[in-house]
Amino acid sequence: MPVATYSLVALDCPDPQVLAEFYQGVLGGEIGTYSDDWYTLDVPGGARIAFQRATGHTPPEWPRGDRNSQQAHLDLDVEDLDRSQEQVLALGATPLDLDDRGGERGFRVYADPAGHPFCLCREQ
């Protein structure tokens, strides 16, 4: 018997509304607000992500782990890496590592507007 039921992942950021809107553009879903400091995104399929204001937030330095480690990252499955890359860049993502080794590696790494790394992964 499990101890708990999954609820959500919360990402610290300087502006929760901006980050919620970014991920809504990437994943779809409905944005909810608890306060100016806490937004949620109910993603189609049942997952939830929360965005929490963190005063003095310092983005992680991907791929370094010695300072400001990744803390967490999201893997997002896509059908077409090239088309999806164009879309996330237009939404405000920053490329971190786009070398998918001619398609061999199967993923590319970006940062969201608050600096959190996330990967677009080719669906298997």
Tell me the per-residue pLDDT of 8-55, one tens digit each, with 9 for 90 and over.
889 999 999 999 999 999 999 999 999 999 999 999 999 999 999 999
What's the structural domain count of the chain?
Answer: 2
64/114 same-domain check: yes
For residue 99, the domain's CATH number is 3.10.180.10
53 with 63, same domain: the answer is no
Domain ranges, residue 115: 59-124
Instruction: Give 45-86 pLDDT, tens digit per residue.
Output: 999 999 999 998 888 877 766 665 656 778 899 999 999 999
> DSSP letters along 71-95, please?
---EEEEES-HHHHHHHHHHHT-EE
Residues 42 and 89 in one domain: no
Query: For the whole model, what pTM was predicted?
Result: 0.84
Separation CA 14–CA 8 (nearest Å):
19
